[in-house]
Amino acid sequence: MLELFHFEDCPYCQKVRRKLEALDVSYLSHPSPGGSIKREFLNRFMPDLQFPLLVDVEKNIFMFESDDICNYLEKTYAKSK
């Protein structure tokens, strides 16, 4: 299962959401706008955290950079045609 921490107005988050949609990959969405409990919780442990944050639970991977995330998704989840 993939989990994405993101928020609506963030262009980097939008890029990753679009990639997930293009690849037709299901994911658990964690909207984390400023002031939300999820944002507060994450910031408590990672004060410099940037969004989006992708967690690939089965593969024990978490990633922050949107370009890295998109490349990872393409490499790992693109279906061969």
Ligand X SMILES: N[C@@H](CCC(=O)N[C@@H](CS)C(=O)NCC(=O)O)C(=O)O
- Indicate whether 63 belongs to the interface with ligand X (CB under 6 A): no
With CB under 6 A, what is the number of residues at the site for ligand X? 8
* Distance separating alpha carbons of residues 81 and 73, to the nearest angstrom: 16
Q: Which amino acid is at 24?
A: D
In terms of CB distance, is 1 or 35 closer to ligand X? 35
In terms of CB distance, is 12 or 72 closer to ligand X? 12
Tell me the CA distances in angstroms from 70 to 21, 22, 23, 47, 78, one per residue in order. Answer: 11, 11, 10, 24, 11
- Of the candidate residues 51, 54, 56, 73, the single one contacting ligand X (CB under 6 A): 51
Other Cβ atoms within 10 Å of 51 Cβ, number:
20
Using CB under 6 A, which residues numbered 10 to 39 contact ligand X? 10-12
* Distance separating alpha carbons of residues 48 and 27, to the nearest angstrom: 24
- Indicate whether 3 belongs to the interface with ligand X (CB under 6 A): no
Q: Name the residues that contact ligand X, by CB under 6 A.
A: 10-12, 50-51, 65-67
